[in-house]
């Protein structure tokens, strides 16, 4: 299981590198998908470009399940990262793509996990989406991306300790190839349980410096520990990355955790007189 867990993300990384080196005039749908995956994991600000490539991959093959599911996740990230001009359209399109992906998913763990992640963010029942990821992990217990998604869903569901456990499993299985912002989710789980110092250590050095959420949580950490000057400095860095400083955070089903996060971020976002 451990060997398979290490090989799978490393193999995908090798495939994406190979695809990125091919001339753009010779791209199949699968090459477009691989390029999109590489862009998706390399930089949050390039996610709109990843979505464009995935749409190109889906156009000739409307049943291309992995591309459908990843495109749904791109819509979710465009919404939360602040790249979207129409959040309602992202929700509709992301939900539609994820549902289309599930229709063709069969026993593909990657499609199941990514579709569940997008649908959970867009408001589908969190328990049902967690069950989909559980199925993916039953099909492939060494699926690092699946454990990452499971960690995210358990965090959103208000189960931070389970989220940490599942994210740590993902990190153990994916030693070399990043499968998502896993360390960040662990930091979030420590944040909502008020372990602010631990959260800061995990969030302060984001896996993707262009991903806005770590700056939001870091600012909230500083605000809740009474270090407003540092919190406001973090928000100034955040504003250079995204126009969306305070997101809705509707994905957090636990009202207390949501209030803790938003109260800290709102304190940090107030500009000094």
Position 60 confidence tier, pLDDT thresholds 50, 70, 90: confident
Asked if residues 49 and 71 have their Cβ atoms less than 8 Å apart, the reply is: no
pLDDT at 190 over 50: yes
- Residue showing tokens 């695809």: 19
| Residue-wise pLDDT tens digits, 74-131 | 999 999 999 988 999 999 999 999 999 999 999 999 999 999 999 999 999 999 999 9
Asked if residues 90 and 76 have their Cβ atoms less than 8 Å apart, the reply is: yes
- Residue 60's contacts (CB-CB under 8 Å, 6 or more residues apart) are 29
Listed residues 139, 154, 177: the one ending a domain: 177
Residue 26's pLDDT is what?
46
Asked if residues 59 and 95 have their Cβ atoms less than 8 Å apart, the reply is: no
Residue 25's pLDDT is what?
45
Residue 144 lies in domain: 1-177
Query: Which whole number is the average pLDDT over 16-43?
Result: 72
Question: What does the mean pLDDT of the chain come to?
Answer: 91
Here the CATH number for the domain that contains residue 31 is 1.25.40.10
| Residue-wise pLDDT tens digits, 195-227 | 999 999 999 988 899 999 999 999 999 999 999
Query: Which whole number is the average pLDDT over 137-158?
Result: 96
**The total number of structural domains that make up the chain:** 2
- Residues 22, 150: one domain? yes
Q: Give the pTM.
A: 0.90
Q: Which of 14, 20, 58, 23 is nearest to 39 (CA)?
A: 20
| Residues making up the chain, counted from first to last | 273
Rounded Cα gap, residues 98 and 119, in angstroms:
7
Rounded Cα gap, residues 188 and 152, in angstroms:
10
Rounded Cα gap, residues 5 and 2, in angstroms:
5
In percent, how much of the chain has pLDDT > 70?
89
Q: Which of 181, 163, 159, 170 is nearest to 137 (CA)?
A: 170
Rounded Cα gap, residues 84 and 97, in angstroms:
17
- Residues 143, 198: one domain? no
- Residues 125, 204: one domain? no
More confident residue, 257 or 178: 257
């Amino acid at each position: 299981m451990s060997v398979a867990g290490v090989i799978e993300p490393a193999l995908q990384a090798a495939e994406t590198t190979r695809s990125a080196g091919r001339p753009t005039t010779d791209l199949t749908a699968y090459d477009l998908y691989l390029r999109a995956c590489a862009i998706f994991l390399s930089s949050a600000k390039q996610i709109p470009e990843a979505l464009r490539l995935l749409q190109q991959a889906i156009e000739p093959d409307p049943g291309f399940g992995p591309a459908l599911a990843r495109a749904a996740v791109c819509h979710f990230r465009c919404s939360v990262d602040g790249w979207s001009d129409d959040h309602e359209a992202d929700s509709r399109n992301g939900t539609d793509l994820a549902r289309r992906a599930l229709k063709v998913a069969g026993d593909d763990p990657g499609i199941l996990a990514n579709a569940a992640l997008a649908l959970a963010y867009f408001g589908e029942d969190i328990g049902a989406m967690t069950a989909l990821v559980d199925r993916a992990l039953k099909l492939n217990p060494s699926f690092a991306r699946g454990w990452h998604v499971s960690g995210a869903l358990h965090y959103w569901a208000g189960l931070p300790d389970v989220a940490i456990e599942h994210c740590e499993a993902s990190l153990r299985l994916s030693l070399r190839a990043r499968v998502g912002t896993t360390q960040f989710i662990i930091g979030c789980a420590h944040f909502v349980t008020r372990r602010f110092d631990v959260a800061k250590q995990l969030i302060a050095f984001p896996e993707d410096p262009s991903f806005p959420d770590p700056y939001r949580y870091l600012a909230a950490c500083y605000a809740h520990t009474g270090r407003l000057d540092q919190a406001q400095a973090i928000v100034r860095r955040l504003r250079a990355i995204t126009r969306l400083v305070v997101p809705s955070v509707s994905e957090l089903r636990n009202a207390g955790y949501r209030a803790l996060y938003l109260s800290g971020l709102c304190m940090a976002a107030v500009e000094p007189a």
